Chain A
Amino acid sequence: MDLKALKKQESKRKISKGYMWALFCAVFWGIWYLPGTVVWVLNPFDEMYGVIAETNGDAVSLVVTAVLITAFNALTVMLALMVWNGVLQKFGELGRTLKEFNPCSKWFFLASIFGGPVAILGSFMAMGFIGGAFAAVAALLYPVIGSVLAYYWYGEKITKRAAIGIVVIILGGITIFGGGLITELGAGEVPWIGYLGGLMAAAGWGIEGAIAGKGLDIAEPDVGLTLRFVGENIIWWILIVPILAIVGFPMYSFAIQAFEPLTLLVLIFAGITFGFCYVCWYKSFPLIGVGRGQGIGNLYGLCAIIFIFLFFGDVPQWTILLGGALCVAGSFIMFTEEAGELETLRGE
């Protein structure tokens, strides 16, 4: 086999692995909705929600309870990533990358700011002040921001075919959540803070992806993501949770009560799914680019509907099935792209 054929074969292998990781990301993200949903009804979070809602109203209570759940989620994600790095024997690499702050780890700490408090808090604000469907649709728009930023910042190529695929997947996602979105937006006066939350979610995850793409030029995805979650844990546990406690919310008393077997079990499974979803997301970026990785990752909407149907028994409406078909069509548009188009991910 000549060098050219070998190069082509290697490129094909790289691309198929890239799509595989992006699909893993979508599956883990979709199944995360099971522990991510049921944890809200478990103690201490249901009691926390009730106690804060009595004094500060439902919307504030939702955001503050979400902060504590997200902080615990970040903690269990760290545990899952320690297992991941342990199995892959990456602890040495983790130490090396951590020490190299200026060229490497600064990108991942920066990514944690945009992915953590900006995107996740924004998503919960959109959910609390408008509704879950609006939050989901807003989040689906993140590949647009991610791919545009990656294009202008470091010249990541986005072919016409990939752009069409991303748009079709986003349209599919909007169709999936469209019914709920119309109901929520038609329910009355929508507070501007809800829209701000939606914008924060789309911009936060989009910017995180572009920053991660830059950091992954010189660092490994497995350790890069672990550092990103070190940063997110610092933000939640050393900054935001103490600030909320100082302001007067009962953060610590409820945090201690979370050490209950069933709550911990659900949080650990949330950590495994969220952590593995994120690490697969990061692993896809150097192989197929930020735009494609985020576009395929957006199939989480369809995966979530499937898992919720199977395990909660919620039968989807016809709009959801139509949206799902669009998501699959968008993915096929991207999968069937010529390997030669992806041989170089950056522009000339």
Chain B
Amino acid sequence: MVQTEAAMEAYNAYWANSFIPAGDIMWMVLILILAVVALWQARTFVSQF
């Protein structure tokens, strides 16, 4: 199933008032950055304890 026009409209409406430029992409970028930092910390933690 492809997304309907109504679904895409509702999805895009969420990011329309975002204070972050290109909010619809940047939320994923932020999650990826946080995930990499958490993994790096977990690797450090394994070597320390």
Contact = CB atoms under 8 A, between A and B. Distances in A.
A14 B46 CA distance: 12
A276 B35 contact: yes
Interface in B1-49: 1-4, 6-7, 10-11, 14-20, 23, 26-28, 30-32, 34-35, 38-39, 41-43, 45-46, 48-49
Contact of A262 (B11, B18, B31): B11
B-side interface mostly: helix
B10 A46 contact: yes
A260 B41 contact: no
Task: Place the interface of chain A in its size category.
Answer: 35 or more
Interface string A305-345: 00101111110000000000000000000000000000000
Given A84-B42, A88-B46, A31 B30 contact: yes
A307 B41 CA distance: 22
Given A41-B7, A42-B3, A88-B43, A312 B38 contact: no
Contacts of A34: 27
Contacts of A257: 1
A46 B4 CA distance: 10
Contacts of A263: 3
Contacts, number: 92
Contacts of B26: 311
A272 B1 contact: no
Contacts of A283: 42, 45
A84 B40 CA distance: 10
A273 interface: yes
A342 to B, nearest CB: 16
Interface string A13-36: 110010010001001100100110
B11 A280 contact: no
A51 interface: no
A238 interface: no
A263 B35 CA distance: 20
A112 B16 CA distance: 37
Given A41-B7, A269-B31, A28 B38 contact: yes
B1 A41 contact: no
A41 B28 CA distance: 18
A247 interface: no
A37 B10 CA distance: 11
Contacts of A28: 34, 38
Given A43-B1, A44-B1, A84-B42, A312 B34 contact: no
Q: Which 3 A-B pairs have the closest CB atoms?
A: A313-B17, A41-B10, A257-B1
20 contacts: A13-B48, A20-B41, A24-B41, A27-B34, A34-B27, A38-B14, A41-B10, A41-B14, A43-B1, A46-B7, A47-B4, A260-B2, A262-B3, A263-B3, A276-B38, A310-B19, A310-B23, A311-B14, A312-B14, A313-B19
Given A17-B45, A43-B4, 6 more contacts: A31-B31, A31-B34, A35-B27, A42-B7, A272-B35, A311-B23
